[in-house]
């Protein structure tokens, strides 16, 4: 038996694959389409690891999915595959519908066929784990209670709407067909290998180059921050101990205003790169026009996964951020490789008409 991971060359998926290959004895199969955010360089350290198999392909390719399931006979399928950047979903929502909704549907259909044909006890022990986001819950006010698993869905961007749709499909395949599913909804991840269109790596790389640090609006938008290593550990706990059909919110207990995140990053860079000619890096902060429909606050109540499954984050925001900044400083070749012409084109497009806030 093995496990199949979809989207395992992306940020969260790659961190999960690396941690699994380093500590587990079961083979892991990674299916990834290698879109702009899927980077084989994230997994180069695995080399010719005997328990790791990479397959380039789309979760919408049902023939390929059927072959993989038949060949590898997994005891679990973990779905990390997703388009995940809000700004890109505003400019081009169709890709998000195709991958997050249609792709998840095709994956569920093939998993359903595979699972239905399994003998007992393999059928009873099989799991389909769907990795989702807290953004499906919408936006909170300053004093609203944090998102719980029972919070009503209220997505506000094409990205979050497409993830909400995929969550509903997963639920439907449990209740209609009996597929043993699990769903996790996580807060904002950060850490090694994150594509630098997201806030933290974008600010790190811009600051190191002396470029403006674009903060949307007034910078008061609040997010709960989760170190990716903690997220991967939580997913493994849910896979092994989660109750079929349940949803588990995964958070870092680290609500931070975006502006405070950027200022903390600047202070860390001042400390860790004392020879930088751009110190103090905080002077690079630039307020730009806010993005449409920008949710004001996210917050995760992770009581359920803590009390039922015994998981808690091991990193504070301070310790996780220091590890993250240090990783980007130590892996400049990775950064230079990923910030290619296509990346620069996208960044120019996203910020060219924003101007000052």
The residues carrying an active-site annotation are 134-135, 159
User: What residues have CB less than 8 Å from 3, skipping those under 6 apart?
Assistant: 20, 26, 27, 28, 29, 74, 75, 76, 77, 78
CA 184, chain centre distance (Å): 11
Q: Strands 247-250, 285-288: parallel, antiparallel or unpaired by DSSP? A: unpaired
What stretch of H or E contains 262?
Answer: helix 258-272
What backbone phi and psi angles, to 5 degrees, belong to 272?
Answer: -85, -20
For residues 139 and 124, what is the distance between their CA atoms, to the nearest angstrom? 37
CA distance 114 to 126: 10
Compute and round to an integer the Cα radius of gyration of the chain.
Answer: 20
CA 328 from centroid of its chain's CA atoms: 18
SS3 217: coil
């Amino acid at each position: 038996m093995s496990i199949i991971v979809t989207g395992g060359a992306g940020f969260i998926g790659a961190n999960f694959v690396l941690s699994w290959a380093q500590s587990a004895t079961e083979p892991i199969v990674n299916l990834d389409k290698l879109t702009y955010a899927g980077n084989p360089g994230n997994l180069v350290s695995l080399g010719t690891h005997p328990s790791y198999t990479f397959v380039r392909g789309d979760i919408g390719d049902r023939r390929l999915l059927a072959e993989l399931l038949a060949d590898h006979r997994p005891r679990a399928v973990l779905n990390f595959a997703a388009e995940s950047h809000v700004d890109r979903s505003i400019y081009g929502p169709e890709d998000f519908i195709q991958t997050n909704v249609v792709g998840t549907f095709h994956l569920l259909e093939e998993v359903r066929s595979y699972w239905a044909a399994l003998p007992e006890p393999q059928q009873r022990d099989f799991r389909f784990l769907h990795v989702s986001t807290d953004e499906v819950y919408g936006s909170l006010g300053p004093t609203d209670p944090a998102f719980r698993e029972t919070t009503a869905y209220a997505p506000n961007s094409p990205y979050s709407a497409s993830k909400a749709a995929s969550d509903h499909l997963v639920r439907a395949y449990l209740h209609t067909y009996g597929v043993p599913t699990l769903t996790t909804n996580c807060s904002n991840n950060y850490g090694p290998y994150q594509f630098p269109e997201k806030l933290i790596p974008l600010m790190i790389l811009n600051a190191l180059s002396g470029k403006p640090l674009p903060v949307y609006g007034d910078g008061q938008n609040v997010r709960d921050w989760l170190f990716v290593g903690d997220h991967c550990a939580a997913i493994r706990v849910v896979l092994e101990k989660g109750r079929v059909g349940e949803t588990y919110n995964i958070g870092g207990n680290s609500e931070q205003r975006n502006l405070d995140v950027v200022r903390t990053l600047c202070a860390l860079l001042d400390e860790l790169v004392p020879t930088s000619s751009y110190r103090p890096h905080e002077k690079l902060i630039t307020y730009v026009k806010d993005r449409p429909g920008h949710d004001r606050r996210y917050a995760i109540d992770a009581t359920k996964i803590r009390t039922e499954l015994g998981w808690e984050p091991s990193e504070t925001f301070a310790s996780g951020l220091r590890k993250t900044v240090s990783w980007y400083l130590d892996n400049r070749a990775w950064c230079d490789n990923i910030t290619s012409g296509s990346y620069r084109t996208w960044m120019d497009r996203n910020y060219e008409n924003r101007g000052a806030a």
